[in-house]
Amino acid sequence: MTDLTSHPAQAFGADPLQVRDTDHYTDEYVTGFVEKWDELIDWKKRYESEGSFFIDLLKSRGVKSVLDVATGTGFHSVRLLEEGFDTVSVDGSPEMLVKAFENGKNYGGHILQVVHADWRWLNRDVHGEFDAVICLGNSFTHLFSERDRRKALAEFYAVLKHDGILILDQRNYDAILDNGFSSKHTYYYCGDAVTAEPEYVDEGLARFRYRFPDRSQFHLNMYPLRKDYVRRLLREVGFQRLETYGDFQDTFAEDEPDFLIHVAEKNYVKSAEDGITYSAAVTVARDYYNSEDADNFYFSIWGGEDIHIGLYDHLAEEIAVASRRTVERMAGALPLTEASTVLDIGSGYGGAARYLAATYGCRVWCLNLSEVENARNRELTAEQGLTGLIEVVDGSFEDLPFEDNHFDAVWSQDAMLHSGDRVRVLQEVARVLKPGGDLVFTDPMASDSVERSALRPILDRLHLESMGSPGFYRRELNRLGVSTLAFEDHTAQVATHYGRVLEETERAEPQLAGRVSDEYLARMKVGLRHWVDGGHAGNLAWGIFHATF
């Protein structure tokens, strides 16, 4: 049986697993626990493992003033003061603030400006505005209700200057909930002689036990925040641009990091004219598709107007014919009329948009990240006399520049894999669709059972750390409340399509000389073989999703 015994100074009651209350944290950080906290952190090792990540991040954004809302025993407040930041140190635990004040004097003779405050009423006790708010040490997980979390984030937002940033971290609870607990014990809790591990975990509670060399043990009850849930809350509160790091790295596999760090920007981007901001993953894809090599290759080899996976009747069929068949099959799932409005996200050269506009007379908006592809889209659209029905927009599908409830249908072909935040893409789709609207899309995916290591050659080629899967899209779309959801599985077409593209690449290689570099073609052929091999091995999946909201 699991030992749920806690230190007698901590008041968890008869059943500690039922203690799921935000206000209880003040009973958990008792004096004995606080006195031992620095053994857990090990300031010297934490300093070495963290490096200058937070300092560089703040300086790169011109930050001068910082509100440390989870001061704890003062590690980050002292570091910030050492680096010249005007720092105010806040905590909800008076015991922690006392220890932080002592540590400030002991580590460099710093006098901390300490404020005892509850995040939910932060602006009542803290006055003025700051360039940055930091909420570190997995502290946000002490809030057990969504109302408390939203209130705290709203208070953080309010205390920031108009262009301020929030840095908030958390344990990687997704990995703990889905795969069990493991820790490199490297980045945050660095004390060698102390153990910090979950004693009990469910979707609403992570009860951690902390054991010290003197055989004492203490506990903390925390809410296991999932990464995408936190990201959604940050956006809904009003933060405009959001990046998530895993153990201080900007690219990471979902289950690898021990800790996640969210960097949320308050600065408001009003329109495309003010400049478009892209996430790291989208930026990589944009730079790739804007290159002259990529543009010449895809337009010449991949199918011309439709640069997506095709539905082949036989192995030698022309790529363009099979690719257009995919468009026709997807369009057949939609109840389109002349009055319909359609958004194509990741529209490439606009072949699908022109087919829809010409066939049904509907209006189509093409949103795409590549200005080079968009320019070619506009030219082809004008040549076919469809400019009045099609509008081409530069932008990212992670932040759609359209009003809520705007479109009858959203369309996407083989584009979402380029996002580092596919949940966000689906949320944006749900937002801009009218009630009863349709989403139809394809995406190259991992199979539901494949090990990530088997995908590494493909992921490295795309500079991605993950792919979607049929199970992932079913789960996330159901969470968004779709009324119907169907997946038409055409996985066998993956190996066929990439095999055909490889054949055409090798056949046309002499004609591509001077238009596409030898280096690009060499890399492309290697990448295409990986897709073919992955398809034959059963590591990949592909097909047509149709969801009605």
Strands of 259-265's sheet, edge to edge? 113-116, 86-91, 65-68, 130-135, 160-171, 259-265, 241-246
One-letter amino acid at 278 equals Y
- The strand pairing partners of 409, in sequence order, are 342, 438
Burial of 439 (0-12, 13-18, 19+ CB in 10 A): buried
498 flagged as catalytic: no
Q: Which of 74, 104, 137, 164 does the annotation list as catalytic?
A: 137
In which residue are the tokens 């506990």 written? 219
Amino acid identity, residue 31?
Answer: T
% helix / strand / coil in the chain, to the nearest 5? Answer: 45, 20, 35
Cα(456)–Cα(466) distance, rounded to whole angstroms? 9
Q: Which CA distances in Å does 4 have to 1, 14, 391?
A: 9, 10, 61
Q: Is 476 helix (H, G, I), strand (E, B) or coil?
A: helix
Active-site hit among 79, 110, 120, 142: 142
229 among known catalytic residues: no
The three-state secondary structure class of 467 is: coil
Cα separation of 333 and 344, whole Å? 15
The total of other beta-carbon atoms located within 10 Å of residue 493's CB is 20
Instruction: Please spell the DSSP secondary structure of 330-359, one letter per residue.
Output: HHTTS---TT-EEEEET-TT-HHHHHHHHH
Q: Give CA–CA dist 273/95, Å, rounded.
A: 50
**Active site includes 137?**
yes
Q: Report CA 314 to chain centroid distance, whole Å.
A: 39
Bridge partners of 489, per DSSP, are: 543
**Which residues, in sequence order, are CB contacts of 37 under 8 Å at separation 6+?**
72, 73, 96, 99
DSSP per-residue string spanning 247-276:
TTBSS--TTS-SEEEEEEE-----SGGG--
The rounded distance, in Å, linking the Cα atoms of 322 and 320 is: 6
* Catalytic residue (one of 25, 29, 223, 289): 29
Q: Which one of the listed residues 188, 223, 289, 360 is annotated catalytic? A: 188
Is 142 noted as a catalytic residue in this protein? yes
Q: Residue 163, Cβ neighbours under 10 Å: how many?
A: 13
Residue type, 342: V
Residue ranges of E strands in 276-414: 341-345, 363-368, 390-394, 407-413
Active-site residue 520, yes or no?
A: no
**What is the rounded distance in angstroms from the CA atom of residue 264 to the CA atom of residue 133?**
10
Question: Known catalytic residues?
Answer: 29, 137, 142, 171, 188
